[in-house]
Amino acid sequence: MKKLVVLFAIVCPIFANVQQYDGYQVYEVTAKTIHQLQDLIDLEQSGSYDFWNRIGFNAPTDIMAAPDRITQLTDYLSKSNIEYRMKISNVQQLIDRPKASAKLGPHSPRYNLTWDNYYRYDDIVEFAYELAASYPQLVSVSSAGQSYEGREMILMKISSGGDGTKNAIFVDAGIHAREWIAPATVTYIIRELVENYAAHPQYIDDVDWFFMPLINPDGYEFSHTNVRLWRKNRRPNDDVNSTCIGTDLNRNFGYHWNEGGSSDSPCNEMYHGPEAFSEAESRVVRDAIWAEANRTKSYMTVHSYGQYWLTPWGYTAELPDDYDQMYALAAEAVAALTAVYGTQYEIGSGTVLLYPNSGPSDDWAKGVAGIPYSYTIELRDKGPVYGFLLPPDQIIPSGIETWEAFKVIAENVAKMP
């Protein structure tokens, strides 16, 4: 019973008050044997702790514990002989830190985004429409559909024209609500593409771009107003007789759905939903990708954190037949990213580098939509202390370095048959 109460406190808050994280701690743990890996998997499946990133073998995993569960966690880790260290001593202190940072500089006065802070859903939507109004020859915005709570899910097309046969790139961000750096970085890249078009016209003239900068708007807003570390969407699970809210949208796509690395418990952070594409948001993204799939050569879904450039497959350790080509392009993109500030990324299959996860969007994009270069990009940081709580002064550096990687993708996509 105690486990269930704690589960609701950590994973499934359903009240309107703002979640506080005073005394919550994050521990970095490393599984170095198969038995230790299984112990961590069992711990995650219990739902008693918030695993901030995917479990990996000989790779760090971050686990958040409520104050009254810390001793139980460390006892469990010690009993399993799993190495651990405290990474964040008080989560609320990181959330409460001052939010000032360097400003980007001159930009359109018609929108609020300045990439000096993390902005809200309305600001992101305003940015998209104002960019389209200011640059109608390059940008168009449409509604791809609505979220469960009725928020518009915007789709931005960036193109200098043509007959609609140019190779395309599709990018989305914000599928997990708490990963604020993802939509911030993607909107920075959109701004760079459009407002600095004259400096590099080839990146729009040679390729069409489709962006969905925030594909879990309900969860994202909830993470700003109520529970900073909320992950899932906001649809109630009363259809499966649960009072816990939300589905992990990145376990809800219909390609090898529910084949490992997800949960059938609605209270678990990785709940895959009652069936594939049960969620409005995943269906909207599916349909938007499908509409342009015949000419889309690269799909990139932007997440945080850990600094990984991941390829399919998530459901199996087997690699795609064209894995060598996928890896080569990823390596070229990551080299350009690293050249800016020295930020190091690991490249490889998510299952091989980390742990299986079935039902992610990149698996579906490659396996069903047939988009050859489909990737999951896990942005900053890798440590030592921030995780999902990346300071806003890292938004612009993240945008700058990731833009360099996107340039490489675009240059290659433009040349593909």
Active site residues per annotation: 378
User: How big is the chain by its Cα radius of gyration, in Å?
Assistant: 20
- Nearest-5° Cα angle at 146, 144 to 149: 165
Question: What tokens were used for 294?
Answer: 């015949």
Distance CA 170, CA 298 (A): 6
Distance CA 188, CA 380 (A): 15
Beta-carbon contacts of residue 209 (< 8 Å; ≥ 6 apart): 156, 157, 158, 159, 168, 169, 170, 171, 193
Distance CA 133, CA 141 (A): 9
Distance CA 297, CA 283 (A): 21
Distance CA 62, CA 86 (A): 9
In whole angstroms, how far apart are CA 53 and each of 37, 58, 67, 194, 350? 14, 14, 20, 33, 12
Question: What tokens were used for 279?
Answer: 């969620």
- Terminal-residue alpha carbon distance, the chain: 59
Q: Are strands 139-146 and 152-158 parallel, antiparallel or unpaired?
A: antiparallel
Q: Which of 42, 43, 62, 60 is nearest to 52 (CA)?
A: 62
Burial of 97 (0-12, 13-18, 19+ CB in 10 A): exposed
Distance CA 400, CA 379 (A): 12
Question: What tokens were used for 27?
Answer: 């521990």
Distance CA 173, CA 377 (A): 10
- Asked whether the beta carbons of 64 and 12 are under 8 A apart, the reply is no
Coil, strand or helix at 295: coil
Coil, strand or helix at 20: coil
Coil, strand or helix at 216: coil
